[in-house]
């Protein structure tokens, strides 16, 4: 892997992301918009902290799944089916450099989104800035990688570009709802909570709640980290065996 | 020097034998055309040479490399125009060229390449605003921006209107002037005749004929002599047109008649092609 090619591709990925209005709107702005809306609806305290702070934590979770899982999956399917990936394979850009640049670009978008959420929360709802910065950065990286692995795996299983956005959102939105991205789940029926309990987003939000709401370090949540690692590994295995660079033959 | 050497190449997809034992070679600086109907195996061959597919059997050398193990050095030296591919819609023509130029150690000047493919007036236009023909020129531009020695063009003008085809032909001719080796596939005869130094005609996974367009049209088929006699059309096929014509005209002179609508026709590449590819109804 060459550093020059990696940086070149990273710049290209960033240009492509921000130049595409759909991506910038849906991937970057949508979680921010949801936070502003939900923050103005909920009041009082959730999990013993001001409602806006608890919502912010959940929406970082939604942002992570939205950016790394949904955004990456849709982008990869569209690029594969329009033969862009195939075309890139004929250039000296190696597969590993390409994937590394894609993941880093996704991480940059998610990190910017997280920072913007904290700033918006502070300005609009007076939420505090996080104190456990090191743990927060680690959690952001772990979350982005786990959901990116799941995004690549999902892209490998989707057959056509037309259906990709529908399939991905059909997974994303119920998952976000069931795992407390949009507010606490403690009043949900037991079977809905049971479904939420196996989904990776619940454990990422657990991490965020520990770090941001309670000021704990990331290592106080080993079980959440383990579940996330298992999901990430599962995604990676599917991705390695099922990922294709070329469109399905007509 | 040979840019490409292929011996005994075979490739099957399941039970379908797409390529059934193909041999050919392409010299450096040559424009070589693979001509044949859809499904003849042209794209399979090109994609094996580009490094996309593994072969089942045979020896293949492309610029001295085995394309089954396409390393960085190989990728630096080839340019690829796929039969079908789309590019990012929201970047400009110049940005797209710069993006691909960045993949190569020794890329060409981006503005020079844009001028070469005739997109100067669209330099700062977004890709989504380009016409089909302009997009194809963009495909060619990004295939050339790495300054490749060998360029693969898989049906570069399919779906073009006549004016766009002429423009594309001019660009492909300019590749020859740049000294590039070009492997072109097409199912248009006139395209092969206009552009290629040598043509291989393919049918059902084998090459049925290789030669210059002139060789293909002079050696293969009989010359056709047509005339009318008492209102009836007479067609004579012959390998000895001089003798036959002499006899015919001598007879006619002896009878004091005119050979009505006398016509002598050399076979066109189209006749050769239709005979070789078996699409003929005769």
Q: SS in 3 state form for chain A?
A: CCHHHHHHHHHHHHHHHHHCHHHHHHHHHHHHHHHHHHHHHCCCEECCEEHHHHHHHHHHHHHHHHHHHHHHHHHHHHHHHCCHHHHHHCCCCCHHHHHHHHHHHHHHHHHHHHHHHHHHHHHHHCCCCCCCHHHHHHHHHHHHHHHHHHHHHHHHHCCCHHHHHHHHHHHHHHHHHHCCCCCCCCCCCHHHHHHHCCCHHHHHHHHHHHHHHCCCCHHHCHHHHHHHHHHHHHHHHHHHHHCCCCCCCC
CB contact under 8 A, B86 and A86: no
CB B108 within 8 A of CB B78: no
Distance from CA of B72 to the nearest CA of A (A): 5
Chain A positions in Cβ-Cβ contact with residue B48 (cut-off 8 Å): none
Q: Does the beta-carbon distance from B85 to A94 stay under 8 Å?
A: no
pLDDT of residue B54: 94
- Asked if B82 lies within 8 A of A83 by C-beta distance, the reply is yes
A83 touches chain B (CB under 8 A): yes
- Which pairing describes strands B31-35 and B198-203: parallel, antiparallel, or unpaired? parallel
Q: Which residue has the higher pLDDT, A44 or B79?
A: B79
| Partners of A83 in the β-ladder | none
Chain B residues touching chain A at CB-CB below 8 Å: 50-52, 72, 75-76, 78, 80, 82, 84-91, 95, 99-100, 102-105, 146
Is residue B281 very low, low, confident or very high in pLDDT (cuts 50, 70, 90)?
very low
Which residue from A141, A131, A134 is spatially nearest to A219, judged by alpha carbons?
A134
Distance CA(B66)–CA(B57), nearest Å, equals 13
- From the list B39, B34, B45, B36, the residue with the least C-alpha distance to B11 is B45
Is the Cβ–Cβ distance between A207 and A143 less than 8 Å?
Answer: yes
| B78 vs B75: CA distance, rounded Å | 6
Tokens of B113: 């390449």
Q: Is residue A142 part of a domain?
A: yes
Closest partner residue to A8 among B50, B102, B146, by Cβ? B102
Q: Which residues in chain A (18-77) have CB-CB distances under 8 A to chain B? A: 19-21
Structure tokens of B26? 């392409």
| Six-digit token string for A221 | 């949540």
- The C-alpha atoms of residue A155 and residue B107 are separated, in whole angstroms, by 32
A10 lies in which domain range?
3-242
Query: Which residue in B51, B75, B82 is closest to A87 by CB distance?
Result: B82
The predicted complex's ipTM stands at 0.90
Residue A82 domain-assigned (yes or no): yes
Reported as a pLDDT band with limits 50, 70 and 90, residue B280 is very low
The CA distance from A8 to the nearest CA of chain B, in Å, is 7
Does A5 lie at the interface with B, CB-CB under 8 angstroms? yes
In a domain, A33, yes or no: yes
Contact A86 B82 (CB under 8 A): yes
Quick one: closest CA in A to B80, which residue? Answer: A90
Q: Domain B2-217 falls in which CATH fold? A: Rossmann fold (3.40.50)
Summarize the confidence of residues B213-232 as an average pLDDT: 77
Beta bridge partners of B32: B183, B198
CB contact under 8 Å between A94 and B72, yes or no, is yes
Q: Are B266 and B222 in contact (CB under 8 A)?
A: no
Overall number of domains in chain A: 1
At B166, the pLDDT band (50, 70, 90 cuts) reads confident
A84 close to B85: Cβ distance less than 8 angstroms: yes
User: What's the confidence (pLDDT) of residue A235?
Assistant: 96
**B21 or B162, greater pLDDT:** B21
Question: Which residue is listed with tokens 């041999």?
Answer: B23
Residue whose tokens read 């894609």: A102
Residue in chain A lying closest to B148 (CA): A91
Q: What is the pLDDT of residue A184?
A: 85
Mean of pLDDT values over B100-126: 94
In a domain, A250, yes or no: no
- The C-alpha atoms of residue A87 and residue B84 are separated, in whole angstroms, by 10
Q: Which residue's entry shows tokens 């367009």?
A: B213
Using a cut of 0.80, tell me whether the model's pTM lies above it: yes
Instruction: Of A178, A163, A175, give the one whose Cα is nearest residue A69.
Output: A175
Enter the tokens of residue A82: 């329009």
Q: How far is residue A145's CA from residue A165's CA, in Å, rounded to a whole number?
A: 20
Q: What is the pLDDT of residues B133-149, one digit of tens each?
A: 888 889 999 999 999 99
pLDDT of residue A199: 96
Interatomic CA distance for residues B93 and B81, integer angstroms:
16
Strand residue runs (E) in B14-144: 16-27, 31-35, 57-62, 78-81
> pLDDT tens for residues A114-133?
999 999 999 999 999 999 99
Q: Diameter of chain A by CA atoms?
A: 57
CB neighbours of A19 closer than 8 A, spacing ≥ 6? B90, B91
- The answer to whether A82 contacts chain B (CB < 8 Å) is yes
- Give the residue from chain A lying closest to B99, CA to CA: A12
> Does A15 sit within 8 Å of B95, measured CB to CB?
yes
How confident is the model at residue A86, as a pLDDT? 95
Strand partners, A236: none
pLDDT at B276: 75
Q: Does A86 touch chain B (CB under 8 A)?
A: yes
pLDDT at position B282 is 40
pLDDT at A89: 93
Q: Closest approach of chain A CAs to the CA of B13, in angstroms? A: 12
B100 contacts A84? CB cut-off 8 A = no
Q: Which of A7, A92, A102, A250 to mutate to test the interface with B (most CBs of B within 10 A)?
A: A92
Which residue does chain A place closest to B144, by CA atoms? A91
Residue B197 CA to chain centroid, in angstroms? Answer: 10
> CA B38 → CA A134, B81, B112, distances in Å?
59, 18, 35
A8 touching chain B per CB within 8 A? yes
Least CA distance to B104: which residue of chain A?
A92
Q: Is B136 helix (H, G, I), strand (E, B) or coil?
A: helix
What does the pLDDT read at residue B157?
83
Question: Residues B38-73: pLDDT tens digits?
Answer: 888 999 999 999 999 999 999 999 999 999 998 899
Classify residue A249: in a domain, yes or no: no
Mind listing the pLDDT tens digit for each residue in A16-25? 999 988 888 8
* Nearest neighbour of A12 by CB, restricted to B76, B90, B99: B99
d(CA B264, CA B241): 8
- Is residue A235 in a domain? yes
Instruction: Among A84, A91, A244, pick the best mutation site for testing chain B contact (most B Cβ within 10 A).
Output: A91
Residue B218 has a pLDDT of 67
Report whether A217 contacts A135 (CB < 8 A).
yes
- Cα gap B198→B210, rounded to integer Å: 7
pLDDT, one tens digit per residue, over A130-184 is: 999 999 999 999 999 999 999 999 999 998 888 899 999 999 999 999 999 998 8
| Contacting residues of A for B105, CB less than 8 Å apart | 92
In the prediction, which pLDDT does B160 show?
76
Please say whether the beta carbons of A147 and A65 come within 8 A: yes
Residue A37 located in a structural domain: yes
Q: Report the SS3 class of residue B30.
A: coil
Q: For residue B82, give the chain A residue with the closest CA.
A: A87
CA angle B184, B59, B74 (to 5 degrees): 60
Give A191-247 pLDDT, tens digit per residue.
999 999 999 999 999 999 999 999 999 999 999 999 999 999 999 999 999 999 999
């Amino acid at each position: 892997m060459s550093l020059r090619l990696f940086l070149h591709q990273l710049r290209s990925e960033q240009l492509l992301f921000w130049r595409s209005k759909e991506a910038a709107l849906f991937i970057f702005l949508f979680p921010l918009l949801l936070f502003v809306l939900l923050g103005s609806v909920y009041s009082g305290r959730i999990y013993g902290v001001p409602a806006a702070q608890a919502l912010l934590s959940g929406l970082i979770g939604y942002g992570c799944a939205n950016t790394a899982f949904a955004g990456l999956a849709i982008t990869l399917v569209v690029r594969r089916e329009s033969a862009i990936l195939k075309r890139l394979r004929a250039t000296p850009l190696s597969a590993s450099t390409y994937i590394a640049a894609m993941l880093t670009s996704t991480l940059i978008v998610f990190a910017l989104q997280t920072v913007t959420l904290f700033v918006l929360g502070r300005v609009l709802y007076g939420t505090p800035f996080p104190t456990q910065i090191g743990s927060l950065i680690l959690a952001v990286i772990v979350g982005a990688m786990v959901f990116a692995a799941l995004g690549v795996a999902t892209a490998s299983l989707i057959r056509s570009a037309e259906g990709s956005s529908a399939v991905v959102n059909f997974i994303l939105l119920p998952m976000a709802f069931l795992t407390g991205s949009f507010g606490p789940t403690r009043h949900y029926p037991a079977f809905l909570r049971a479904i939420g309990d196996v989904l990776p987003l619940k454990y990422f939000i657990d991490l965020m709640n520990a770090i941001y709401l309670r000021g704990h370090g990331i290592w106080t949540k080993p079980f959440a980290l383990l579940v996330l690692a298992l999901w990430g590994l599962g995604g990676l295995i599917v991705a390695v065996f099922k990922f294709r660079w070329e469109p399905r033959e007509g | 020097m040979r840019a490409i050497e292929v011996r005994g190449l075979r490739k099957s997809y399941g039970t379908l034998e797409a390529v059934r034992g193909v041999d050919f070679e392409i010299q450096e600086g040559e424009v070589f055309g693979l001509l044949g109907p859809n499904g003849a195996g042209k794209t399979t061959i090109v994609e094996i040479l580009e490094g996309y597919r593994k072969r089942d059997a045979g020896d293949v050398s492309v610029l001295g490399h085995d394309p089954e193990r396409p390393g960085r050095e190989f990728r630096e030296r080839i340019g690829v125009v796929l039969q079908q591919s789309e590019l990012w819609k929201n970047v400009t023509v110049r940005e797209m060229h710069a993006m691909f130029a960045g993949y190569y150690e020794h890329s060409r000047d981006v503005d020079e390449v844009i001028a070469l493919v005739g997109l100067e007036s669209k330099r700062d236009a977004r890709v989504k605003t380009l016409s089909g023909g302009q997009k194809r020129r963009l495909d060619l531009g990004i295939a050339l921006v790495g300054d490749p020695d060998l360029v693969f063009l898989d049906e570069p003008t399919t779906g073009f209107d006549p004016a766009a085809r002429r423009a594309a032909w001019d660009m492909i001719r300019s590749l020859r002037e740049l000294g590039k080796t070009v492997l072109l596939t097409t199912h248009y005869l006139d395209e092969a005749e206009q552009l290629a130094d040598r043509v291989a005609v393919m049918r059902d996974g084998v090459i049925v004929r290789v030669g210059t367009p002139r060789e293909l049209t002079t050696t293969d088929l009989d010359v056709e002599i047509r005339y009318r006699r008492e209102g009836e059309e007479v067609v004579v096929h012959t390998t000895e047109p001089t003798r036959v014509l002499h006899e015919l005209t001598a007879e006619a002179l002896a009878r004091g008649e005119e050979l009505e609508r006398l016509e002598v026709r050399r076979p066109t590449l189209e006749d050769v092609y239709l005979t070789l590819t078996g699409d003929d109804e005769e």
